[in-house]
Structure 1
Amino acid sequence: MEKHILLLGPPGAGKGTQSKRLAEEFGLEHVTTGDALRGNKQMDISEMDTEYDTPGAYMDAGELVPDAVVNKIVEEALSSADGYVLDGYPRNIEQAEVLSSITELDVAILLSVSEEELVDRLTGRRVCPECGASYHIEFEPPAETGVCDECGATLTQRDDDTEETVRDRLRVYEENTEPVVEHYRDRDKLVTVNGETTPGDVFDSIVDVINS
């Protein structure tokens, strides 16, 4: 059965993990803005009167890809999907309005997680600078503290995983995405799921919402 699902939630809420599982469970396309951008780096956008002629040129220059370009890429990704779970878009009210004009959602599911829990989750992340493996000091620690299981390199904390940066990211998310949450609440599309339980319980709650 074709389903159109949007997952909303702050950084660290578990959208990526849950989206992947949902895509597998229901045979849906997992559409994220990051993947859609990477998959369409060479898309010709010269007719859009933008600074660059491809999304990849923005990415190579380390610049934000304009909303109009992101909208076009998401529209392209959704047009070829029978059913989808959308993760990481829309990030603001303008994108939400564009999304409404190109597709009809069945449900928008908000993963609710407290700020303190999000800070714990995000500041505990450690990554391997050599092979890219990712760990968490509390939830998924390496066998030996501070050492990568895969290649033995010393694990590091990314600059954007420090507490100050994390709280700043959460504040920006709140400012941009709160209007998006209200947009779907006003249209009776929003269902809130407790994102602080185990990943398995969160998944079961999401499946219950979709099946109901």
Structure 2
Amino acid sequence: MADAHVLILGPPGAGKGTQSSRIADRFDVEHVTTGDALRGNKDMDISDMDTEYDTPREYMEAGDLVPDAVVNAIVEEALSSADGFVLDGYPRNMEQADELEDMTDLDVILSLDVSRGELVDRLTGRRVCDDCGTNFHVEFDQPEEDGVCDECGGELIQRDDDNEESVNNRLDVFEDNTAPVIDHYRDHAGFVEIDGEQTPDEVWADIEAAIDERI
């Protein structure tokens, strides 16, 4: 099943990263994220795009948003070299969704549905290892020792953008830009809405069944 083309959508905190990793392992496909694709192609020559900088690295080092045209080109490159994939974190807006339709066909589109209140609880309670990046939660996924990563012993911190004000702003941006993308895909034959407020294992069971049924 190495040719499965899966798109996973949902707001910040819905569990896309966790479930994408399980999809990649179970169905032997590549986990393609915008962040990883950018980091993997940060020295890509984009001088022909008439952009401010000539490589994605320059945008990232300047702390500027990478333009959609550059993100589109990098995602297209990542997808073209993958026999199968689960795409996570793209498209973030309708312009990107239109570009994606020109890049590839999708077999399954998973939309993780989680209420705003639950998302705020998840994100404000998240703690991240400052060394290895492993995620924990003050309520749902506590480490064995308070403030210490189970994986590497590093310090657990709260990300700057995981405070309540920042979280609500991120969710507002999602509602404005990405929620219309989900509505756009609802008529697609492979679209499946998943209850993201279940336990991670229950969410995974629904995802696995949905992909098995459509591939």
If the length of structure 1 is used for normalisation, what is the TM-score?
A: 0.94
User: SS in structure 1 opposite 2:145?
Assistant: coil
Name the residue aligned to 1:105. 106
C-alpha RMSD of the superposition: 1.6
On the 8 A contact 1:181/1:190 being kept in 2, the answer is: no
Q: How does 1:20-169 map to 2 (within 5 A)?
A: 20-129=21-130, 132-149=133-150, 150-151=152-153, 153=155, 155-169=156-170
| Whole-Å separation in 1 of the counterparts to 2:148 and 2:188 | 48
Segments of 5+ residues of structure 2 without an aligned counterpart are none
| Whole-Å separation in 1 of the counterparts to 2:206 and 2:124 | 26
| Whole-Å separation in 1 of the counterparts to 2:164 and 2:193 | 26
Residue type of the alignment partner of 1:10: P
Displacement of 1:148 in angstroms is 4.5
| Whole-Å separation in 2 of the counterparts to 1:152 and 1:133 | 10
User: SS in structure 2 opposite 1:127?
Assistant: strand
On the 8 A contact 2:13/2:119 being kept in 1, the answer is: yes
**Deviations 1:133-172, CA, capped at 9 Å, x for gaps:** 432111221233334454464x432221111211111111
On the 8 A contact 1:113/1:195 being kept in 2, the answer is: yes
Segments of 5+ residues of structure 1 without an aligned counterpart are none
User: 1:138/1:102 Cα in 2 relative to 1: closer, same or farther (>3 Å)?
Assistant: same
Name the residue aligned to 2:211. 210
| Whole-Å separation in 1 of the counterparts to 2:27 and 2:11 | 24
On the 8 A contact 2:131/2:154 being kept in 1, the answer is: no
Question: Are 1:195 and 2:182 matched, yes or no?
Answer: no
Residue type of the alignment partner of 2:141: E
On the 8 A contact 1:131/1:151 being kept in 2, the answer is: no
| Whole-Å separation in 1 of the counterparts to 2:158 and 2:101 | 38
* Worse overlay, 90-99 or 131-140: 131-140
| Whole-Å separation in 1 of the counterparts to 2:90 and 2:177 | 12
User: SS in structure 1 opposite 2:178?
Assistant: helix
Number of positions where the alignment pairs a residue of Structure 1 with one of Structure 2: 211
On the 8 A contact 1:32/1:89 being kept in 2, the answer is: yes
Displacement of 1:184 in angstroms is 0.7
On the 8 A contact 2:7/2:109 being kept in 1, the answer is: yes
| Whole-Å separation in 2 of the counterparts to 1:152 and 1:25 | 29
| Whole-Å separation in 2 of the counterparts to 1:201 and 1:73 | 33
Residue type of the alignment partner of 2:34: T
Residue type of the alignment partner of 1:145: D
Name the residue aligned to 1:174. 175
